[in-house]
Chain A
Amino acid sequence: MATTVHEPVKREIGRSLSQGSGNGGWRNLVPADGDVRRVKEYSPPPASTGIWVGLAAITMTFAAFTSALVVRQGSATDWQHITLPPILYFNTLVIIASSVALEIARRRIAAFMGGPRDKNGDSAASPARWLHITLALGLLFVAGQTFAWVRLRAQGFGMAANVSYAFFYVLTVAHAVHLLGGLGGMLRVIGKLHGHFPSGSVLRKSTLDATSRYWHFMGALWLYLLLLLWMKL
């Protein structure tokens, strides 16, 4: 399987790099020797910035859900405290393990892309294996969450049972939907790593980093949600 590695695209600049001032700010400083590749140190690739922006939006969304929960809990006396399904704790271990697996994968792939190939050869299968493990753990987490929802419903605790259950479903389903987006990103990274995409579509380190940041954020978000649910429900 061919592994595709990103090479920066060479793009002609309008005029000589030494011509004129053209030093418009710290992000745009161009080295005097004209080595455009070094500029990347100053200007992060869009995927890197984009993922932080996306995570900010997701944070706002869950902040809104959280404040709704706090206000709604305090506004009336109908709030019922519930016992969280035990499988959630198992799921927590699963998502933590997935983050560990992804970090191992990310470091191995980064080393594979940037440095000399390891003594075991240049196969992409080795770094990709940890991505497969991450993917499997992610799916296991979603399956575990689904089990918790089905079990609660079977016990007669649907969304309409009480608003505390409604918040439980809203928060956990919203998290799972976002996590599925992360799994989609992971599939894309694996596909690119294995060269399953059309020629010219390469795996960039920034894409890998962005995907892993998103995944780790999903893990951290779950820990926050578990704490919130444990404290408030």
Chain B
Amino acid sequence: MHDTAHAVHGAPTSFIRKHVFSLDHKVIGKQYYALALVAALVGMFLSWIMRIHLGWGNFAIPGLHLLSKTGAPSNVMTPEYYLQLLTMHGTIMVFFVLTTAPFAAFGNFFLPIQVGAEDMPFPHFNMMSFWVTFVAFLVLVASFFVENGPTLGGWTQYAPLSAIGAVGGPGQGMGVVLWASSIAIFCVGQLLGSLNFITTTLDMRTKGMSLMRLPLSAWAWFITSIMGLTAFAVLMPACILLILDHVAGTSFFVASNLVINDQVLPHTGGSTLLWQHLFWFFGHPEVYIAIVPGMGIVSHVLITNMRKPMLSHRVLIYSMGALAVLSYMVYGHHMFVSGMNPFSSLAFSFPTLVITIPSTIVVLMWLGSLYGSKLRINSASLFALGFISMFISGGVSGFFLAQPSIDIMLHATYFVVGHFHLVMGVAAMFGIFAGTYFWFPKMTGRMMNESLGRLHFWMSFVGAYCIFMPFHYLGIAGNVRRYQAFTDDYLIPLIPVHKFITIAALFTGFAQLIFLYNLIHSLFWGKPAPNDNPWEGTSLEWSTATPPPHNNFGDKLPVVYHDPYQYSVDGASSDHVMQTSPEDLKNAPDEK
């Protein structure tokens, strides 16, 4: 039983306090979702014009010069502008979509409800976390409009290119400063959010809600928040040091006597590897920050639609925890070709192979639980299945990349691009979609259109494979990533593959517009949810009104009597027993 006084704040009355500067975790969750949606549309638009350029290099994209006169004269992008768009696509998608939507958006809305709390313990911090993140997004987007545009250094911003200033190329001056400022601000927002998530999970659980009775989605958000707390706390100082190299004349990351464009730079003694260590100490856990919430959401969705719990609740939780711990021990596998000691490569390779064990266990848990179940097929469960498919397909290529001898060959090729897009990008997006279709009725009181949802799934599923599986082929063929044109003899035969990928990307992007239409149309004109529990779920979000009231549960906090997934229990009064039901389940194993 928690001390609820910390979370109590009166229901807002003014528009500003209700919808803009709201303390309500549910409103903040929706704000995060809206931000992620806008960011995803920007990121997708950037990927479209990049793919068109890769398929048909001289094709003039109407209106592109409006985005940048110098970067796209005559509506054809320059090589530098291609790299600038590439950087912005990666940054926006990783930080403002894959981190924001599955963790901050859904977590904010549902974590307090799933633990049985009225709100997060620090609502003001929670509100700040969103608005700080929003400012971070504005700062990043602002770099489109400064002289020479955004940075071209890639979302990893490797030094020394990122630290040498404007001499390094378009966007390497103010563009990098804005990028690093944006990410540092973003880190502050995520730290505030993680603080709330951890404290909510530990201290705000209602009576009877032991840790093992938390739904898998709540566990995933809890584990992710711990990762976020430790990873973003390291990225932030790295960004501060990078900014200082630009604005204060320091030499953290730039070595002595570096000559760029015939200029000897004034920096001395900096370590380029230092940036990589700091960045990837954040960067690899970030992969799991993006994917672990999806694991939790997908598990939650699948269980509800399978009408039976996972083979082992505990094993799934422990596996997600193991992924979190190991994610800090493997980051060096991103640096196999950085020139670090070969023995270090071995030291990072081993845990990289070890981390496949909990990943495999999670997958086997899903597949084993699905086996023999009478799965209810709907948009949410389809996207959950799609998540598993993408996670496996993308994960398998990880086995190869984990070994330094193979990674040296495949490093910086499209093989890597295909790997991380499937396992981290598309899989996480499918997790977001599964969560959206599943929780939309609870969040809005309306149902999404099921036919459009299924169409969205099949187009996305087929389209994603058509985009990213050929990437692996391109990588094996030696196609280096980040090239804006393929003029070498060995690359010219691969251009048709790029054209095919571009068509698939446009097709898949169109499917997302169907989703957007479905989302907006259903929000205002969708069929009202038939009741508070349209999927016949058992966790606490289905015990309260739809949409939930300001304090989530009305006058009474719920009391929890059961594990989160009591489905098809022998002797029970129905095929699902709510966590709040006092019904005595003699035949149900209770994890407590």
| Residue in B4, B198, B208 with the greatest tally of chain A CB atoms within 10 Å | B208
Check if A157 is an interface residue, CB within 8 A of chain B. Answer: no
Question: Is B233 a contact partner of A58 (Cβ separation < 8 A)?
Answer: yes
Question: Is B278 a contact partner of A15 (Cβ separation < 8 A)?
Answer: no
A88-126 CB contacts (< 8 Å) to partner B: none
A57 nearest CB neighbor, chain B only: B233
Query: Complex: how many Å from CA A15 to CA B559?
Result: 7
Check if A39 is an interface residue, CB within 8 A of chain B. Answer: yes
Option from B6, B281, B559 in Cβ contact (under 8 Å) with A22 = B559
Question: Is A13 a contact partner of B269 (Cβ separation < 8 A)?
Answer: no
Question: Is B199 a contact partner of A46 (Cβ separation < 8 A)?
Answer: yes
Using Cβ atoms and an 8 Å threshold, which residues of chain B touch A6? 5
Report A113 CB to chain B, min CB distance, Å: 15
B233 nearest CB neighbor, chain A only: A60
Report A90 CB to chain B, min CB distance, Å: 27
Using Cβ atoms and an 8 Å threshold, which residues of chain A touch B558? 14
Give the size of the chain A interface in residues (CB under 8 angstroms).
56
Query: Complex: how many Å from CA A61 to CA B410?
Result: 33
A70 nearest CB neighbor, chain B only: B274
Query: Complex: how many Å from CA A64 to CA B328?
Result: 13
Question: Is B244 a contact partner of A46 (Cβ separation < 8 A)?
Answer: no
Please tell me which stretch of B245-253, B413-421, B498-506, B568-576 contacts chain A, meaning at least 4 of its Cβ atoms lie within 8 angstroms of it.
B245-253
Question: Is A170 a contact partner of B244 (Cβ separation < 8 A)?
Answer: yes
Using Cβ atoms and an 8 Å threshold, which residues of chain B touch A85? none
Given the known A-B contacts A46-B203, A72-B271, are A166 and B252 also in contact in the complex, defined by CB atoms under 8 Å?
yes
Option from A12, A20, A36, A77 in Cβ contact (under 8 Å) with B269 = A77
Option from A50, A58, A76 in Cβ contact (under 8 Å) with B268 = A76
Check if A44 is an interface residue, CB within 8 A of chain B. Answer: yes
Please tell me which stretch of A25-33, A136-144, A189-197, A213-221 contacts chain B, meaning at least 4 of its Cβ atoms lie within 8 angstroms of it.
A25-33
Check if B392 is an interface residue, CB within 8 A of chain A. Answer: no
Check if A71 is an interface residue, CB within 8 A of chain B. Answer: yes
Using Cβ atoms and an 8 Å threshold, which residues of chain B touch A184? none
Given the known A-B contacts A50-B199, A159-B250, A170-B240, are A9 and B209 also in contact in the complex, defined by CB atoms under 8 Å?
no
Report A73 CB to chain B, min CB distance, Å: 10
Query: Complex: how many Å from CA A58 to CA B122?
Result: 18
A42 nearest CB neighbor, chain B only: B1
Question: Is A28 a contact partner of B234 (Cβ separation < 8 A)?
Answer: no
Check if B403 is an interface residue, CB within 8 A of chain A. Answer: no
Given the known A-B contacts A8-B3, A49-B203, A78-B256, are A22 and B560 also in contact in the complex, defined by CB atoms under 8 Å?
yes
Using Cβ atoms and an 8 Å threshold, which residues of chain A touch B557? 11-14
Interface string of B247-280 (1 = CB under 8 A from A): 0111110011000000000001111011001100
Please tell me which stretch of B41-49, B210-218, B313-321, B383-391 contacts chain A, meaning at least 4 of its Cβ atoms lie within 8 angstroms of it.
B210-218
Query: Complex: how many Å from CA A163 to CA B253?
Result: 10
Option from A9, A44, A65, A68 in Cβ contact (under 8 Å) with B4 = A9
Give the size of the chain B interface in residues (CB under 8 angstroms).
64
Given the known A-B contacts A14-B559, A21-B561, A57-B194, are A71 and B207 also in contact in the complex, defined by CB atoms under 8 Å?
no
| Residue in A46, A76, A158 with the greatest tally of chain B CB atoms within 10 Å | A46
Using Cβ atoms and an 8 Å threshold, which residues of chain B touch A68? 237-238, 241, 252, 274, 278
Using Cβ atoms and an 8 Å threshold, which residues of chain A touch B277? 67, 71
Option from B198, B274, B560 in Cβ contact (under 8 Å) with A71 = B274
A1-59 CB contacts (< 8 Å) to partner B: 6, 8-9, 11-15, 17, 19-25, 27-28, 30, 36, 39-40, 43-47, 49-50, 53-54, 56-58
Question: Is A61 a contact partner of B559 (Cβ separation < 8 A)?
Answer: no
Query: Complex: how many Å from CA A116 to CA B200?
Result: 34
Given the known A-B contacts A39-B1, A49-B199, A57-B233, are A22 and B561 also in contact in the complex, defined by CB atoms under 8 Å?
yes
Given the known A-B contacts A27-B205, A163-B269, A170-B241, are A14 and B556 also in contact in the complex, defined by CB atoms under 8 Å?
yes
Using Cβ atoms and an 8 Å threshold, which residues of chain B touch A174? 237, 240
B584 nearest CB neighbor, chain A only: A20
Query: Complex: how many Å from CA A198 to CA B125?
Result: 19
Query: Complex: how many Å from CA A166 to CA B229?
Result: 26
Check if A199 is an interface residue, CB within 8 A of chain B. Answer: no
Check if B191 is an interface residue, CB within 8 A of chain A. Answer: yes
Report B240 CB to chain A, min CB distance, Å: 7
Question: Is A19 a contact partner of B195 (Cβ separation < 8 A)?
Answer: no
Using Cβ atoms and an 8 Å threshold, which residues of chain B touch A19? 559, 582
A40 nearest CB neighbor, chain B only: B3
Option from A22, A50, A65, A160 in Cβ contact (under 8 Å) with B121 = A50
Question: Is B582 a contact partner of A15 (Cβ separation < 8 A)?
Answer: yes
Question: Is B269 a contact partner of A24 (Cβ separation < 8 A)?
Answer: no
Query: Complex: how many Å from CA A163 to CA B245?
Result: 10
Check if B202 is an interface residue, CB within 8 A of chain A. Answer: yes
| Residue in B1, B249, B252, B556 with the greatest tally of chain A CB atoms within 10 Å | B1
Query: Complex: how many Å from CA A25 to CA B250?
Result: 52
Check if B580 is an interface residue, CB within 8 A of chain A. Answer: yes
Query: Complex: how many Å from CA A189 to CA B179?
Result: 37
Question: Is B237 a contact partner of A22 (Cβ separation < 8 A)?
Answer: no
Query: Complex: how many Å from CA A28 to CA B219?
Result: 17
Using Cβ atoms and an 8 Å threshold, which residues of chain A touch B489? none
Check if A155 is an interface residue, CB within 8 A of chain B. Answer: no
Interface string of B573-592 (1 = CB under 8 A from A): 00000001010000000001
For the complex with contacts A12-B557, A53-B199, A75-B269, 14 further pairs of A-B residues with Cβ separation under 8 Å are A9-B4, A15-B582, A21-B561, A24-B207, A24-B209, A27-B205, A50-B199, A56-B230, A57-B194, A57-B229, A58-B233, A61-B236, A63-B234, A67-B277
- The contact sample of 29 A-B pairs, CB cut-off 8 A, is A8-B3, A8-B5, A11-B4, A12-B557, A14-B207, A14-B556, A14-B558, A20-B561, A23-B208, A24-B592, A28-B1, A28-B206, A28-B207, A30-B207, A39-B1, A46-B199, A46-B204, A50-B121, A61-B236, A65-B237, A67-B278, A71-B271, A75-B274, A76-B256, A76-B271, A166-B251, A166-B252, A170-B240, A174-B240
Listed in ascending order, the chain A residues whose CB lies under 8 Å from chain B are: 6, 8-9, 11-15, 17, 19-25, 27-28, 30, 36, 39-40, 43-47, 49-50, 53-54, 56-58, 60-61, 63-65, 67-68, 71-72, 75-79, 158-160, 163, 166, 170, 174, 204
The 10 closest A-B pairs by CB, nearest first: A76-B269, A25-B210, A24-B210, A46-B121, A160-B249, A78-B269, A60-B233, A75-B271, A22-B208, A9-B5
